[in-house]
Amino acid sequence: MPDTATSAHAFLTALTIVLGVAGVMTVVFQRLRQPVVLGYILAGVVIGPHVPIPVVADPAVVHTLSELGVILLMFGLGLEFSLAKLFRAAPTAGITGVLQCSVMIWLGYLVTQLLGWTPMESIFAGAIIAISSTTIIAKAFDEQGIKGSLREFVVAILIVEDLVAVLLLAILTGASTGTGVSAWELAETLARLVGFLVGLVAVGLLVVPRVMRFVVGLGRSEITAVVAIGLCFGFSLLAHELRYSVALGAFVAGVLVAESGKVAEIEPVVHPVRDIFGAVFFVAVGMMIVPAEIAEHWLAIVVLTAVVVVGKVAAVSFGAFMTGKGTRTSVASGMSLAQIGEFSFIIAGLGLSLGVIGTHVYPVAIAVSAITTLLTPALIRRSDRFASFVDRKLPKRLQTFVALYESWLARVRTSRAESRSRLRRFIRTLLLDVVVIAGALIALSMTFERAMELLQLHLALERSVARVVFVVAGGLLVLPFCMSVLRTTQRFARVVGEVAVPRGREDQLDLGRQPRVVLEAAIRMVGILIVGSALIAITQPFLPGYTATIVLVLAVAVLALLFWRTAGHLHGHVRAAAQAVIEALAAQTAHREPHAPDLLAHARALFPGLGAPVHLEIPAGSQAIGSSLAQLELRAATGATVLAIVRGETGTAPPDAHEPLQAGDIMAIAGTEEAIAAAIQLVRTRARSSS
């Protein structure tokens, strides 16, 4: 009985201190118009055991409460999703997530090697900075009211990252204990994970939505809250028992509850509980900050923080854009994901428990997480401004490519099922080649010493000669699969190009060749970058040296140079098309009848691949009048680009970005249907607001 009373008193004391100090801090930060999550973290520093302030909460109790916060925050995210939304976001989010994780593992390893860390510490450092924080992003999005497609896309990437983290834990455990991880074991781990998710969702769909519809139908909010949160913790416990992330189980529970169609009734009763324990999570992060250790390892913290922010913004933005998300959404996604969090602590804790990393790695991870957490709200708020800055500073040829690329991918997404099926077959072939290459390289690494002994014993070779023989034999073994990757990437790019910009009849001049060539060059470059960075990330724990990194950098550099040259040719193609558009629009100004012919149809046929340009006349009274294109930031705001502007019987192509617009100007706008609609709405909204 005394032990129980003591535990209850410790629990009550910790909870009182946490919520009391956090409440004061958040009121102060709210009055200062700063994100309240910063107040939570500072509250954790104040009540933590590492600063000389006589208000200390029990770290063990707070950590336990923070786990509840992670679970409830993930459950809340799941409530906002449906399975249909997840499946729609899976292809683009999957590519972006894998690319981001691969690049960050690679960068983390390289940077910490330069800082003098051991190879195993560098491997763990790469894994630590690869996974963004679902909890931090969820809180930041809630505070700033971010909803819609951006939130859905970012959350889908986070789910991919969580799945990657599960695989990383398996790989790092095998590499650290010296038992190794074979390709078969890795495939088995992945199969178990997929089986767990499929089984959980399949069984859950039969039960959870029906249960929640029945419970909500009772009309008692407390019963709804108890059952919903009970399901949340039940799925989390099941995931934990099967050695998966409790956050993953909670998210699946939220998705299944959302399938009941009663989210409007469920979310309001769950929201307050989620907010309370979510606050405790951020307080727990602040409690782990040790000022003395931060001062000792400041260089590693500063460098890794810079790598996380710059690397994640660049990798996510690039991956999102190349999957057709547009400049603004891509940059916003990258700036939202520029932090590390709960999984980073788990990975660092694994390294400590296995005794393969120094004690300095864990506080460095915590400090980087805390700093990037502080930066996240500001980065999200400034994402639109930064996207506009990036759009303005891009070279002309890249601006042309960016303006048309999204419309090309939109055409691929709406292509015939046969074409999409071919593309999926190519992707499956690439995945198989990557698995075989990675498995072969890992197996060669694990058998290296034994092979050296056999070659020296039976063939009487010097060790240096035996090493060369072994490397050459291994290279010949994986060479056919590397060639298959190159061929498959080439064929994939060709199919994408032909679907996006179809060829005409064989007896006609191929007018869409230039857009097709630059699109194929871009797809090849991205394909090799994704495959190569994924291979390096997987095999890095097993293969010493930087040979693979150097080869990948050289290959991507060559492909980037080829893309740069073809993008220049595309810019010339678009300039010629814009002149044709000017002629068509100038002629069309003479036809003011209601049934005037669409003279832009000829320009579309003559220059395919321009995203079906349409014309938009600046109406009288529009606020756009007197503003330049640079001031409107139309391309950055909508994704559409202005090919030409016609004023009377004259026009300019490309238009001067600093020339003020006038009433009656006719703009030729190219892009996706959504981008063009957004551009038209932008101008018309400005017109209404001025009337």
pLDDT of residue 283: 84
Taking only the tens place, the pLDDT of each residue in 350-377 is 787 778 888 788 888 888 888 888 888 8
In CATH, what number is assigned to the domain containing residue 680?
3.30.70.1450
Residues 350 and 407 in one domain: no
DSSP helix/strand/coil, 463: helix
Same domain, yes or no: 228 and 352? yes
Residue 573 lies in a domain: no
C-alpha torsion sign, points 270, 276, 280, 283: positive
pLDDT of residue 421: 82
Dmax over Cα atoms in the chain, in whole Å?
94
Q: Residue 666 pairs with which residues in a beta bridge?
A: 617, 646
Same domain, 107 and 204: yes
Provide the residue range defining the domain that includes 68.
Answer: 59-393
Question: Hey, which residues does 645 pair with through a beta bridge?
Answer: 652, 667
Tens digits of residue pLDDT in 478-528: 888 889 988 999 998 888 888 888 776 665 666 677 888 888 898 999 888
| Residue 288 shares a structural domain with residue 372 | yes
Strand 650-652 versus strand 614-617 pairing type: unpaired
The per-residue DSSP string of 311-337 comes to HHHHHHHHHHHHTT--HHHHHHHHHHS
Tell whether 411 and 355 lie within a shared domain: no
Q: Name residues of the chain where pLDDT drops below 50.
A: 1, 593-596, 687-691
The pLDDT of residue 91? 76
Ramachandran quadrant class, 56 (left: phi over 0; alpha: psi -120 to 50; beta: rest):
beta
Say if residue 338 is in the same domain as residue 386.
yes
Specify whether 510 is located in the same domain as 599.
Answer: no
* Domain-embedded: residue 446: yes
Q: Examine the domain organization and report whether 192 and 64 are in the same domain.
A: yes
Show which of 525, 560, 595 is a domain's final residue. 560
Residue 39 within a domain: no
Which neighbouring-strand residues pair with 616?
667
- Is the residue at 43 inside a domain? no
Q: What is the pLDDT of residue 48?
A: 81
| Domain identity same for 157 and 302 | yes
Residue 216 in domain: yes
- Which long-range contacts does 294-297 make (Cβ < 8 Å, 24+ apart)? 294/363, 294/367, 296/360, 297/360, 297/363, 297/364, 297/367
Q: Quick one: 228 and 284 in the same domain?
A: yes
Surface-to-core class of residue 601, CB atoms within 10 Å of its CB (0-12 exposed, 13-18 middle, 19+ buried): exposed
Same domain, 361 and 448: no
Q: For the chain, state the CA radius of gyration.
A: 28
In 3-state terms, what secondary structure has residue 640? coil
Buried b (16+ CB within 10 A) or exposed e, 101-127: bbbbbbbbbbbbbeeebeebbbbbbbb
Last residue of a domain, one of 327, 362, 393: 393
- 303 burial type by CB count under 10 A (0-12 exposed, 13-18 middle, 19+ buried): middle
Residues 161, 289, single domain; the answer is yes
> What is the secondary structure of 32-47 as a DSSP string?
TT--HHHHHHHHHHHH
Is residue 681 situated within a structural domain?
Answer: yes
20 belongs to a structural domain:
no
Question: In 3-state terms, what secondary structure has residue 503?
Answer: coil
pLDDT tens, position by position, 283-336: 887 787 777 777 888 899 999 999 999 999 999 998 888 887 878 888 889 999
Count of CB atoms within 10 A of residue 392's CB?
13
Residue 349 lies in a domain: yes
How many structural domains are present in the chain?
A: 3
